[in-house]
Amino acid sequence: MQMRGHSHHRVHVILQGAAILSTSLADGRKQILRVLMPTDFVGRLGSETTQYDATALTDVTTGSFSRPAFEALLRISPEMTHRLLHSTLKELDDARELLLLLGRKTATEKLASFLLALQRRSQRLRPNRIRLPLYQFELADLLGLTHETISRQFATLRDHGVVECHGPRQIEILDIDTLVEMSGGDPNEHAVSPVMQ
């Protein structure tokens, strides 16, 4: 699957597999905006103008609506509208987390944060063993780095015994406390008493 700008004015839902949503500049610099997972929507839901690229990471199966059909569905079903609203709000929160990462974190913190977010998300048999959905060179485009820097950051994580790599896109977290330390911390951990003036 490779789509430019969600052609045909259709709305898609990811049913199985993973994909990435990205945008890029004229000279080829690319920024991945989101890793799309099952239940995620893709398409021109809001503005008529903004277009993104969707690229499959694995085999993907999707459901698909024409724009008018989708709008009719929303008109008929408040239930559906609420679900879409909540998933959009979740996407917005995820995007904002990424804004902080891209704008203010160092390379080390970026990778550590990403790995922790991934671990939080994926509840697997062995929780410290995670399958990376992306290659290192794709990770670079998600974290706003080069693939060389990603490789070097993985190397230092390995050297410090924080993670272990088992083949490509397969890593194991050995020392999660150090990883948390290296991540620069969550924004919400320093929550202070509510104030309003």
Partner DNA sequence: CGCTGTATTGATGCAAGTCAAGGTAAGTGG
Partner DNA sequence: CCACTTACCTTGACTTGCATCAATACAGCG
Contact residues for DNA, defined by CB under 7 A: 106-108, 135-137, 144-149, 151-152, 154-155, 165, 167-169
Residue 190 touching a copy of itself (CB under 8 A)? yes
Give the residue carrying structure tokens 């898609």: 12
Least Å distance between CB 169 and DNA? 6
User: Is there a contact between 173 and 130 (Cβ–Cβ < 8 Å)?
Assistant: yes
- Site for a copy of itself contains 191 (CB under 8 A): yes
Query: Which pair of tokens denotes residue 17?
Result: 């597999």
Minimum CB distance to a copy of itself smaller for 31 or for 108: 31
Of 17 and 184, nearer to a copy of itself (C-beta) is: 184
Q: Which helix (H) or strand (E) holds 12?
A: strand 10-16
> Of 16, 38, 61, 93, which one interacts with a copy of itself (CB under 8 A)?
93
In whole angstroms, what is the distance from residue 197 CA to residue 191 CA?
17
58 contacts which partner out of a copy of itself, DNA, none, CB within 5 to 8 A by kind?
none
CA distance 52 to 55: 10
Q: Are strands 53-56 and 19-24 parallel, antiparallel or unpaired?
A: antiparallel
Cβ-based nearer residue to a copy of itself, 99 or 155: 99
**Pick from DNA, a copy of itself, none: which does 69 bind, CB < 5 to 8 A by kind?**
none
**In the complex, least distance from residue 13 CB atom to a copy of itself, rounded to whole angstroms:** 16
| CB-based burial label for 166 (10 Å; 0-12, 13-18, 19+) | exposed
| Rg, Å, the chain Cα set | 19
* Residue 80 makes contact with a copy of itself by CB under 8 A: no
Q: Which residue has 């977010």 as its token pair?
A: 117
**Cβ atoms of residues 20 and 57 within 8 Å:** yes
Binding site for a copy of itself (CB under 8 A): 1-5, 7-8, 23-27, 29-31, 33, 45-47, 49-52, 74-75, 78, 81-82, 84-86, 88-93, 95-100, 102-105, 143-144, 184-185, 187-197
